[in-house]
Amino acid sequence: MAAAALEVISEVGIGRTTHRAVAARAGLPLGATTYYFPTLDDLIAAGLRLSAADLQSDFEQWAGRLRAASDIPAAVAEVIVEYVTDRRRAQMEVELYVAAGRDPALRPLALAWLTGMRDLLEPHVGPEAARDVVTFFDGVTLRALITGRELDVETLTRTIRRLTTP
pLDDT digits (tens, 9 = 90+) for 42-63: 998 888 888 877 888 889 999 9
Domain-located, residue 106: yes
| Rg (the chain; Cα; Å) | 17
pLDDT of residue 98: 86
Which whole number is the average pLDDT over 145-149? 94
Is the residue at 130 inside a domain? yes
- For residues 72 and 66, the answer to whether their CB atoms sit within 8 Å is yes
Looking at residue 109, its pLDDT comes to 84
158 within some domain:
yes
Domain with residue 113: its CATH number is: 1.10.357.10
Whether 30 is in a domain gets the answer: no
Print the domain residue range for 76: 49-164
Domain count, the chain: 1
- DSSP letter assigned to residue 106: G
**In-domain check, residue 42:** no
Within a domain: 34: no
Alpha helices in the chain (DSSP H): 2-12, 19-26, 30-36, 40-68, 72-85, 87-102, 107-125, 127-147, 153-164
pLDDT on residue 45: 86
User: Is 4 within the bounds of a domain?
Assistant: no
Task: Tell me if 14 is assigned to some domain.
Answer: no
Q: What are the pLDDT digits (tens) for 103-144?
A: 888 888 889 888 999 999 999 999 999 999 999 999 999 999
Answer whether 92's CB lies under 8 Å from 10's CB: yes
Report the mean per-residue pLDDT for the chain: 92
- pTM assigned to the model: 0.84
Question: CA-to-CA distance for 158 and 77, rounded, in angstroms?
Answer: 9
